[in-house]
Amino acid sequence: MVELFISNRQRFIERLPDNTVVFILSGEASSMSQDDEYPFLADRNFYYLTGLELEGLILRIVKKNGISGTALFAFPHDDYQERWHGKRPDFEELSEISGIDVSSIFDVDTFVDSSHPYVKDADLKVAFDGSSIMKAVRDVRAQAAALRTADDIIDVKDILTDLRIAKSETEASLIAEAARITEEAIEAMKEDIVPGATEYDLHTRLEYEMKKRGSEIFAFRTIVSTEKNSFYLHHSDPGRDEDATVTDGGIVQLDVGARYKGYCADISRVFFVGYGSGEDDKRIVLLDLIRDLRRSCWEIIAPGMTFNELNRKMHEITYGFLREHGLAEGDQEASVAAHKYYWHNTSHHLGLDVHDLSNSLPKDYRDMPFVPGVTLAVEPGVYIPEWGVGFRIEDDVIVTEDGCRLLSSGNRDDSPEVIFC
């Protein structure tokens, strides 16, 4: 792993404009109540450059006249603070994780004094990551703005976005491991899918199984939906009442992702509970469409494809299905007709966030061609209220030189996508 973070910093420095000092901050935990905080995840770009998941840290990189220097500011051991807040890793441990030389790691209390000369240096631009959601970044930027003009302060968001959008094989393997953990948890949980079980029962088992396998913080809020709750796409508050109970002849929709060493999986599965009656079982009819959509995705995702073109292809297939089953007229535009039942996009970026880079990509990113190394969650889904059934099946892929490769199992036909309970 340390080689990954060293390489990420080197590539970032190569892209960084000369005569620049850049500050990347890990950020701070958010309050959950007056007594506690939410679990902490470092700013994703800070993690990308350091591999560190600790709050209050600052990475400073200076590039002047072609020569670069890196410094990390962190908290030293403090017996009193550690008594209340837990053990702090020493600077040697931070060095082992990040690959930053221990001689370049300093007490965070020295940050202001040691960085002030760089901020004041008129020969240097001062850079920040404009995509960060952390308050600490805005605070430090405001302090720099008091000393420099607006033209002297630049944003490195686009550099980091360009670096992160195509994953290395190491990153792809971490997403694959997150997917493995997720699918193992689903496999363990499915024994609990029986009539009478509640969403809460299944949700609890699923998250337990992921945590047991090392995913302490999940990629996103786990979704377990029974019956008509599957029509609420982000049904992330599992119920315990009759409307949230597994029934014979119904479905269970899962949308879940583990996080492994910072990287996310995003997996959706649907379970059919009990057997229906052949052609009258609308679950089976819809499953045939979802399988067709998935096979088409694997065939056409490749360099040059775009999100919007992928959607258009899925809408065309869906439109044909809708016409066949009397749900669309023959003179309708395919995309318009499909949108009535095809409610969400087919795919999104995947990586250090489940919707990776969503707040830093350009507005027209859905028309940007895929390139090798792009990792995607692919989730064709159709929802037909008239039939009382709707679901999606989702897997994770990486774009290769000539197509795409599954990072999750894909649940191909020889490993059924739907389990009858």
Top CATH class of 166-406 equals alpha beta
**296 — pLDDT class (breaks 50, 70, 90):** very high
Query: How far apart, in whole angstroms, are the C-alpha atoms of residue 210 and residue 264?
Result: 12
Predicted confidence at residue 317, as pLDDT, reads: 97
3-state secondary structure of 172: helix
Q: Is 376:396 a contact under the CB 8 Å cutoff? A: yes
Give the number of other Cβ atoms within 10 Å of residue 17's Cβ. 12
Q: Residue 252 pLDDT more than 70?
A: yes
Around 159, how many Cα atoms within 13 Å sit in the side-chain half-sphere? Answer: 21
Domain with CATH 3.90.230.10 in the chain: 166-406
Q: What is the mean pLDDT of residues 280-297?
A: 93
> For the segment 80-131, what is each residue's pLDDT rounded down to a tens digit?
888 888 898 999 999 999 999 999 999 999 999 999 999 999 999 999 999 9
Around 209, how many Cα atoms within 13 Å sit in the side-chain half-sphere? Answer: 23
Which has the minimum average pLDDT: 134-143, 199-208, 363-372?
A: 134-143
**418 — pLDDT class (breaks 50, 70, 90):** low
Number of residues written out for the chain? 421
CA 319 distance to own-chain centroid? 30
Residue closest to 136 by CA, chosen among 23, 27, 29? 27
Cβ-proximal residues to 283 (8 Å cutoff; 6+ apart), any chain:
251, 272, 276, 389, 418
Q: What is the mean pLDDT of residues 165-172?
A: 97
Tokens of 261: 């060493």
Q: Give, rounded to a whole angstrom, the gap between the first and last alpha carbons of the chain.
A: 41
**410 — pLDDT class (breaks 50, 70, 90):** confident
Q: What is the mean pLDDT of the chain?
A: 93
Q: What is the mean pLDDT of residues 280-303?
A: 94
Q: Which is higher by pLDDT, 79 or 405?
A: 405
Q: What is the mean pLDDT of residues 141-159?
A: 93
Q: Residue 416 pLDDT more than 70?
A: no
Q: Given 3-state DSSP classes, what are the helix, strand and coil percentages for the chain, each rounded to the nearest 5? A: 40, 20, 40
Cβ-proximal residues to 144 (8 Å cutoff; 6+ apart), any chain:
23, 119, 126, 128, 153
Residue type at position 349: H
Predicted confidence at residue 237, as pLDDT, reads: 95
Residues in a beta bridge with 64: 67
**387 — pLDDT class (breaks 50, 70, 90):** very high
Predicted confidence at residue 415, as pLDDT, reads: 35
Q: Residue 246 pLDDT more than 80?
A: yes
Q: What is the mean pLDDT of residues 24-31?
A: 95
Predicted confidence at residue 414, as pLDDT, reads: 37
**280 — pLDDT class (breaks 50, 70, 90):** confident
Domain with CATH 3.40.350.10 in the chain: 2-164
Residue type at position 378: V
Rg of the chain, C-alpha, whole Å: 24
Query: How far apart, in whole angstroms, are the C-alpha atoms of residue 128 and residue 131?
Result: 9
Which has the minimum average pLDDT: 13-17, 36-40, 45-49, 229-233?
A: 36-40
Sign, CA dihedral 290-325-225-242, equals negative
Predicted confidence at residue 277, as pLDDT, reads: 64
Top CATH class of 2-164 equals alpha beta
